[in-house]
Structure 1
Amino acid sequence: MKIHKIPWLGHFDDRGHRLSIFSVHVHPDGSRIATGGLDGTVRIWSTEAIRLADGNEELKVHKQLCCMSTHTGTVTSVRFSANGQYLASGSDDRVVIIWHKEDIIPGIGPTFGSSETHTENWRSYRRLLGHDNDIQDICWSYDSQLFVSVGLDSSIIVWNGTTFERLKRIEAHQSHVKGITFDPAGKYFATESDDRTIKVWRVSDFALEKTISEPFNNSPLSTYFRRPSWSPDGKHIAASNAMNGPVACVSIIERGTWTSEINLIGHEGPVEVTSFNPKLFKDSNDKLVCILACGGQDRSLSIWSSATSRPMLNCQNICQKSIGDVCWSPDGLNLYLCSYDGTLLVCTFEADEFGQMVSDEEIAKTLAKYGHGRHGIVLPESSKQLSLEESAENAKSLSNKNKLESNPLLSEMPSTPLRGSEVTKPASPSINVETLPKVSNQSPKKTPVNDTAAVETPGKNTQKVTITKDGRKRVAPQLLTTLQAAPSTSRLPSTQLQQSSAPQLPPQQFSQPVNSIPKGGVPILVVGSKQKPSEDPNTGEFIGVEESNLPNIDTFQNFLPNAIERSTVIPTGELKVPSLKSAVITSIDNLSRYTLEVKNGSSEKNPTRIVVLENGTTRWMDYLPRPVLLSTGSIHFWAVACDDASLHIYSLTGSRLLPPVMIESKPVFLECNNNFLFCICSNGMTHAWDIPNKKSLFSSCSLAPILDSATQLQSEEPYIVPHVTTANISREGIPSVSLSTGQTYVYSSFMLSWQRVSDPWWAFGSKHWDSNGIENRDRPLRFYEQQTNEALMEIGRGKFLHKMVEDFTNEEGYEDFERIMTINHLENRIAAARLLHLNDEFLETSESYCKLLMQSGCWQKLEEFLDEVYADTESTDLLSGKELVARILIALRQLVQTDAEFERVNKTIQKYPTYSLL
């Protein structure tokens, strides 16, 4: 194997710096590849130039064949259709563009207004609109008849691969959908989402076949992509971003049973993308072998063979940043991978490295047992059914020829009788007997489908007939919205035009007005009401959510640990105390060679033992009479908290820095950073200390202000209340607390109060809310917003945010809702950055804020902010106030688009004497 890095291939800015490449794909004939990057362009490259150049800049071969810059945002995915006729590209501008190569018009020569030279002419053939947020991945079916796009709006949209009409919009995932792959047998496609599931969908009716969640229970939400891959023999799905305990892995999901008993462990970080080699190979025992390539955040590439349990190849640090996409050439001997550092690598393999290559006819024969190539009847699929089919084929020669002639479908039907619920009399030989809906004159009934879905079959529509005084019959008119929708026509084969098994709403609900915001306001819509439903005395209807969400009275103590009585100053409720463990192990983040191990005892006769290890060697030891609940450590001290509400603080060498510190009640959270230690007690009181200087940062304060409003019961019955999920303290000694509602608070020692720095309210309407899913602890405010996103996903409200905005902004008086919300969100972020002394985020947010004010025409607000910053002699540790104003004015001048903006910006520049800095 050889690895080539092509220096001339990439997406570059005006200064020649490399920009991130997010996707790469190879044309079915292998003559060209397509890449999409941060610059918003789609570029076509010659594979011949890549093969021959090998770093030779003097080779006179056309390298870049075409550059398309129609997208207005980052191109996140590019995919050629299987027939090679089209190229699809998805972007964060929410648009999918279908490109078609124009052979009639020559494309040689530079493009007007650009230095790019084209040797091929790819023009925009279709623009597919339908997504409400960034598009993360796209995929074609193997027969090019279907095309599916997924994105951050949690939606899956199925398009016709020929006419490009929208066939189905599926909204079943609870969070961002970041990956899609098709079954080579043509029966399924699978989508992977940040809700930590893979969902398998039937192609015949676009209904849910199976939801797979076990290997993703603890998967991180920090990956930009979750791109799965289906093996060429149709047997397995390689699922990215899976976890085997605390270890990142690739989970191999078996077809039919949809279980994952095989995990590929070989990466230190999350795996973002997987790609099966399109070819099959035979090993020395003539067994079929699949080849899989994986790449992810650890900047490593691994290649696996189904014949061995260890990777064939593991290249570490092959790139400087994460690997975003991996793609094999059609001949299976070249592997292309792109990275966020802007490089594209080519791995070339010899013909015999993987084994003897299997012909396409043998691959098709392997897929035939899954129904590949069969049309008209979709057979029930399982491992048992496949074995029965083989036995039926062996006995086929002994069957009665007369029966076969009278009913030719018997040779294709399963040899075992189906259950009663699976048998339906077909109307024609081309109707899917599994998915044909039952029609009856009875009232609608719900029948279970798969695991959780349910189908509601509407009854037959009837019209009322009345008789007038003169004896004539009249038919009462009926609203069109109450009639059963007629099946839409499509150019797809009849096997793909089945009625969806998704639940249908009762007809009457379509003619009733829809309220964008329910009673109770936006918090009820975003967070959800947990009150017990009660009967409305006026209408007799039940209000509130389903009673199944309520805990029993016996479990009330488990869900009401945060009830704090604000009026009495001293909280009466208690936070949930961590369970007592036999062993507690803690290590220092920056010094992993130091480890503190606690082996808990029960009493003075059986004391608790504390051991600190350095590189596995015992450095010091201590004994305590009480068991330890929590422990933490920094480069300055160790701290352990016992169940008798005492804190024991040691230096790194084991010396006691303070006598045992007594707190009000048992500790719930114990966190440290740099010099500072932060503790939350079970009664809701919080403490923060500067340990080296042996002083408190502020008087102990209560969590009552941030918990009390959520724990005010509106009825005598208990209900689930928000709780504290995480607690931290910054390097500057500012504590923060995050709730299960997604809200994050920090405590200001100057204001002596809690202040909210992250709220789902901003996610509801701000365009600058951070929803990219990339976790960055170096940006605390963005990290808090990511925690809010995760909380919204866990309560199942994240996917409704964009729909809520659309409905809300359509109402009269709320046309500027998004703009005003975005301005307020940035102002809150600026204030929080100042409070937390976050220089980078203050600079970044200030520039975005001023740009938005200029574009919105809010010049008075802009000048007020610039006046405040200009007067600050030390706005940040990096820049003074004058330097920051000069930096902002430079950015504003580059964004000027109209004469009025030009005059106003020049007037603003003259107001502030920063010419030397400009």
Structure 2
Amino acid sequence: MRLVKPAWVKHEDPINKRRVPIFSVHVHPDGSRVATGGLDTKVRIWATKPILKKEVEETATNKILCTLGMHSGPVLVTRWSHSGKWLASGSDDTVIMIWDLDPNGGGRVFGSDEVNIEGWKALKRLPGHESDVTDLAWAPEDRYLASVGLDSLVIIWSGYNLDPLIKLDGHHGFVKGVTWDPVGQFLATQSDDKSVKVWRTTDWGLEATITKPFEDSPGSTFFRRLSWSPDGAHITASNAMNNNGYVFVAAVIERTQWKSDINLVGHENTIEVASYNPHIFLRNANAAATTSNICSVVALGADDQSVSVWQTKHARPLVVAREVFDRPIMDLAWSWDGLTLYACSSDGTVAVFDFEESELEGIVPHSIQDEYLKKFGFSEQNAEIRAEQLRQKEAFEKAQQAPPPPQAPQPLTNGALEAYVPGQQQVTITKDGRRRIKPSLIGHLSSSGSTIHAASAPTIPTSSSIATASASIPTSSMKIPPLSNASPNTSLADAFVTAPILPFTHTVDADGDLDMSVPIDAWGPKGESATKVNLKARTLGGDRKREPAGPVRELRAAAGDENAIIVGARVLDVPGVKSSLSCRVEGSDKDADTVEIKNGESVEKPAEINYYRKSETCWLDYLPNAALQVVATMAFVAVALEDGAINFYTNTGRRAMATVILDSPCSHLEASKHFLLAISATGMVHSWNVRTASALFPPVSILPLLSANTSIDSVQLRANGSHLILLSSGIAVSYESSLMSWTRVSEPRWADGSDSWTGRQRGPSSGRGVLANMEVALTEIRGEDGDTSAIRRPQWWNTALTLGHLESRLAAAQLLDSPTEYKQALLLYAKRLADEGFRTKAEELVKELCGPLYYKPGREDKWQPTVLSMNKRDLLKDVLGIFARSKTLAKLGQDYQEVLKKANEKDDY
């Protein structure tokens, strides 16, 4: 995968020239253009070649093709029609605009120095909403256009003449997302009333209302953009919650039953948008496209400023992109070939994730997808609205029998006249008895009309030139392909002709780029490949079958214990040498990957490490010494040897980094993601980032924290590299590299008096965070000896310990990268301050979250606006809400709510 973030794709404030948020991004079906909408009230159309090809970016001058400025408010959504002929945009000004290409247009943008290379004009203005238009979606074959807005309405527009057909008013809150069933049978919408509603297209009645996944979802998200899978089987809805509102998920809703039993978990803040790849994928690329063999790829964008890409056959995401954006993700859009994902953010930037076909394995051509969708057997011929549209089409067909208007001369293209082809049309009879008119190439109208060259074959055009409208428009060596399947006559009368969906073809374009599609004849009648060629590469040990490990026996004590005793150092427990070791690979699909080590009982038989995927041997290696411990993640495998060395392997068997030698054999070994933690027998703690082959901090001894009665109970390593060591005394510690000191994360006395101690709770650990699990573990370590409830305590004991405990939890949540528990502790802390009326502590907390309101020359501003990827002022809103409802801190909360409101009004975002 290649990540591209073009700095020149932006919307700017016309006064101060700063970036402004981009609310929507959508790529044209032929992949040549991408449209964005932003806070500057503009729709901008960009060429994609300079984005995707570095050599074109360096030479191209015409990177922005057109700027459209008919809206009077921020543009919240842009959507190309499936035919690529029209572009729809929705805005804060309550209006939907339909844009059409006019080759005779172009020229300078009014009131600006910008020059439009392409001349897009407003074809029709669609008023009807009474508030912001938040999302748009074109139905299959562009039969309808659906729009939703903050007026709680869903409006269906005719795809033939763009007239309003019906208003659906079933929602009771802001509607912020809409998507069509690829079969055409249903429409789904998502609203702030915490529901997803599914509507039938036959009579526009309500099919189902889904509320359970959204009962605890916040109403503060900008959008709730949902998406329907290309196989028609599922809807993935954004802004869902689990665990009473503490886990942010995307809900996967099943077709027909309309239940959500599957969630996509992992984002650390609300999910704004879901977007399915337009292709279906095969679990087994050599089998047929049956229901059991089909999966999908879906992308999620969230307020935690990250984008994740999931393939539904895996339990974990394929890609998680963090630190790409500085603010929440607003929109996602896949290219028609399914290999490029576009994302935009409120920080005013656009990022492009360009995949290789091998990374999204099993991609299926759209032709096979179309055949698969026929299994639903849906027909619309009985719908009342469809009948009305058929009458309109019949009237149009009669009008077509009249003599065509006089032909105007064709516009010049590249300085030469193109040959004129007389207009023809092909009439076909569909299975349900309806006639379908397919125009081939209609003569050009007058220059005032829109004139677009049609593709002569159902393939994606490679390159062409835009008609030169005026000699004053600068030219470029970069060629922009014409819009595919677009009729030369784009008046509203032509809109009655059903717009075909752009087909996916496999050719080699003018730039030499190979097509990524799968040929249709690759699947035989039984799903077998037409050509059976064994192209499987060899691996070391890959041709050997997996052997059973047998019973585990302890061969001997680890050599090194005696040596440590001789030099007088304290010795931590070191595992003995066993006949075999094994571990599951963290993060592998259903724990299918396993690492097994067989230690030799003699020098003649060396230790052997094997990496298995189910029963298949992926690779093997021989170790210089017996192995004591082994850990593995999807990033690396680490083996601690008897002589104190640690070997690192990638998951293909290569050496990930140099062999590390400890001062003594390893006592504890833990791995997570790209990080490894090791504690030697002499108490030296080491931590590495294996991906960068670097240490997180210099080796540090834990022996000062231990005593004759205190030992290490367990060691935990987090995905961000932070660690947690639980001692038998009931204390949890972690080494903080920025402080160059050990820090106490938790201690026994919090359990004695804090009302917020969670260690007494029972239940499954999967739903708890790292701090809650730590407190449960510490409670179990102390056991009954830690019960001090009968001891008489001072008056303020519980209050003091509760506040101290929550303050420690806030620091620990930051250290261990647990945003959910940080927010939970913050709100509990605010509630306790409000209940006790501690104004000074409350005011200090407010100032810490609010930060500086005004610029002061000479002041060194060290305040950070976010904590754990959460905006501090957003957290402050929740805290002030708690204070405002209390008796003693009501005025403080209300005063700062007003201050925060004014500060946000002055913020130029």
- Which TM bucket (shorter chain)? 0.3 to 0.5
Question: TM-score, normalising length from structure 1?
Answer: 0.47
Determine which structure has greater relative contact order: mean sequence separation of CA pairs < 8 Å that are 6+ residues apart, divided by chain length. 2
TM-score relative to the length of structure 2? 0.48
